[in-house]
Chain A
Amino acid sequence: MLKMTHLQKVYRTHLIETHALRDFSIHVREGEFVAVTGPSGSGKTTFLNIAGLLEEFTGGEYQLDGVDVHGLNDDQRSRLRNEKLGFIFQGFNLIPDLNLFDNVDVPLRYRGYGAAERKKRIEDALGRVGLASRMKHYPSELSGGQQQRVAIARALAGSPRLLLADEPTGNLDSLMARGVMELLEEINRQGTTIVMVTHDPELAARAHRNVHVIDGQVTDFDSEPALRAGSRESGIGNRESVQAAPVSP
């Protein structure tokens, strides 16, 4: 589903070069729920930006659902992003002056669906996150947990192949966080591949597989990315192959 091989990302200014990702390789298979962990500045965000086709990379290869994304133009990248990817952001990123229906409608508009198809998908998506009755409400009328559910509905409405989540519970209290996490697990069980960046070891432990990133490189990962149906019960100590991550100087 997502395959990066020896990926490089270098930010250049007049004075310095910063290697955000170096020789970064990762392979996420269809149906997996992968947690990407690592300290701040390790390159997690750069990885997700590149995975989400929001940033270009400077070397290596990246295949998304079998498509080599290198050399695609803006229109092609936008279409691929719209068709294959769903995003869930830490800050929800809902448009405040659009109601829930119109917020979920945004990616569907760019897909070019007709009005009836869009309506059906929006109602289905909001139904899946338990907010079908609040379609005409505005984001400001909802709790943080509900807003993140809307964001998930928006991500799901276009039936993406891969869901990219950045600290999806980072702005939520523990009760709401649990609800959102359960929703993501449910979505994954229904077949959507999920890659989630998180700081939270408990959340990471609920993924099928953890990938640890330090200094722009994958330093530690589960060697056998077997799909685990009971991932919710598995804590970080239960991972199949865990090694101490080397600490960068």
Chain B
Amino acid sequence: MLTYYLQLGLRSLKRNPILTALMVVGIALGIAASMTTLTVLHLMGSNPIPWKSDKLHYVQLDNWSPDEPYSEDGRPPDQVTYRDAVALMEAGKADKQTVMFKLSLPIQPENRDLKPFQALGRVTYADFFAMFEPRFKYGHAWNRDQDASHARVVVLGKDMNEKLFGGQDSVGKSVRMDGIDYTIVGVLDEWKLRFRYYDLTNGAFVDPDEFFMPFTTAVDLKRRASGNNSCWKSPGEGWDAFLGSDCVWIQMWAQLDSPARLAEYKAFLDSYVSEQKKLGRFPRPLNNRLLDVTEWMEDQRVVSRDVEVQTGLAFAFLVVCLVNTIGLLLAKFTRKAGEIGLRRALGASRRDVFTQFLIESGVVGLSGGFLGLLLTGLGLVAVRALYSEYRTVAQLDWMMVLTTIVLAIVAALLAGLYPTWRACRVQPAAQLKV
């Protein structure tokens, strides 16, 4: 019977092409608006490293001013000072740990055809690669010894390697950055990060890092970070004063492989800060935090309130489209009262009529879903064109394709419920002059 109802549904849709088109386009528009915003929301909010997001923890220490909190809601600063970064790295209490900051350096290519250019990279420790797991195309990360020895080594991002070496294996070659030659030890493969979750303090939706170099090496350059830098009192003059100041400009992550290790590390941080208090630092009450990846994303509002509001509005638009579809289906089914009466007289039960017309609504939904999918694709193209920072999250994945179709069918079935219920209440005797 299901096939029969499906045939009847398709035939009924063909019979009134304009009415059908109005319903299908209505649902498709509502679905496309909802799915475009929902896709962005879904990918923005999705866990970028689900297999270990509960192990990677963002470290926050509250070294802020005694006179006012860092934020009104009592959150500690988003970054740590150089002194604390170095002290915590030297303590090495986590299973893996790294600190990092963003650095912009001029690149002077060996190839004279290429003009020098400015590149944005990341300064970090060897553990970074083991913690965040980017794939290497050539070579590998530097090691802890190279961290300790301030080695002049670098890992290139895929794009930078393309630009400088045409995508060839450049491991062992050198690249001149700000007048100093660094030996390339590794080249990353394409790192499909939807957003740069390991540094949310400098904007999540930004271009990938073009190079990575050891923290210790970069500090020797005495160049300030290209990212955010916040101070609650003047750092004083000179590089050494800046390094010794209470300005926060470094991000720190600790990998803690079990809840017990997390508790231990938290206790270690508290103890560290208590010790620092004795030295006259950390004037505020103890306020250290260790947030895992998803908690950190939420804290930093990776999914912005704007996107949530847009998604809400898009779903409100879908509801409007569905109300419109209810009206159109009601008109369509009312016109079929005679046929319903006849089918009832010929043996159809109310359940048969209900199933037949609900399937017809489902067919409208399926058609609306496919058109909606197409429009969602176009919507995402428009989002990518208008907001380049969203280009990594404005992509349809198979999950969202499936969601689009299911949502369209469910929406159409919901819209069809009332008209279908009305249809199966048709009194055959009133429709037929028996």
Contacts and interface: CB of A to CB of B under 8 A. Distances in A.
Interface stretch (A26-34, A74-82, A136-144, A180-188): A74-82
A45 interface: yes
B4 A93 contact: no
Contacts of B344: 54, 78
A97 B17 CA distance: 14
A108 B434 CA distance: 20
Given A54-B427, A75-B351, A95-B342, 5 more contacts: A54-B428, A55-B429, A74-B351, A78-B344, A93-B432
Interface of B: 1, 4, 11, 15, 338-339, 342-352, 427-429, 432-434
Contact of A74 (B1, B339, B345, B349): B349
A38 interface: no
5 contacts: A52-B345, A55-B427, A74-B350, A78-B349, A83-B347
Nearest to B11: A97
B349 A52 contact: no
A82 B428 CA distance: 14
Nearest to B428: A54
A160 to B, nearest CB: 10
A23 B295 CA distance: 79
Counting chain A CB atoms within 10 Å of each CB, the highest count among B1, B343, B427, B433 belongs to: B433
B433 A91 contact: yes
Nearest to B7: A102
Contacts of B434: 45, 48-49, 52, 54, 87, 89, 164, 166
B339 A107 contact: no
Nearest to A165: B434
Interface residues of A, number: 32
Contacts of B351: 74-75
B429 A166 contact: no
A34 B310 CA distance: 70
A208 interface: no
Contacts of A111: 347
Contacts of A107: 346-347
B433 A87 contact: no
Contacts of A74: 349-351
A60 to B, nearest CB: 18
Contact of A90 (B342, B348, B433): B433
Contacts of B11: 97-98
A154 interface: yes
Interface of A: 45, 48-49, 52, 54-55, 74-75, 78-79, 81-83, 87, 89-91, 93, 95, 97-98, 106-107, 109-112, 154, 158, 164, 166-167
Nearest to A78: B349
Contact of A54 (B15, B338, B352, B429): B429
10 interchain residue pairs of minimum CB distance: A82-B347, A110-B347, A78-B349, A107-B346, A54-B429, A49-B429, A48-B434, A54-B428, A166-B434, A55-B429
A93 B342 contact: yes
A79 B346 CA distance: 9
A213 to B, nearest CB: 14
Counting chain A CB atoms within 10 Å of each CB, the highest count among B338, B345, B432 belongs to: B345
Contacts of A154: 346
Nearest to B12: A97
Given A89-B434, A166-B433, A110 B352 contact: yes
A83 B347 CA distance: 8
A89 B432 contact: yes
Contacts of B4: 109
A109 B1 contact: yes
Contacts of B432: 54, 87, 89, 93
Contact of B343 (A48, A106, A166): A106
Contacts of B15: 97
A111 B352 CA distance: 12
Contacts of B348: 78, 110
Nearest to A106: B346
B293 to A, nearest CB: 56
B79 to A, nearest CB: 70
A87 B344 CA distance: 11
A105 to B, nearest CB: 9
A48 B352 CA distance: 23
Given A97-B15, A109-B1, A45 B347 contact: no
A78 B433 contact: no
Contact of B349 (A49, A75, A112, A167): A75
A45 B431 CA distance: 12
Contacts of A90: 433
A78 B344 CA distance: 7
Contact of A82 (B342, B346, B433): B346
A74 B338 CA distance: 19
Contacts of B346: 81-82, 87, 106-107, 110, 154
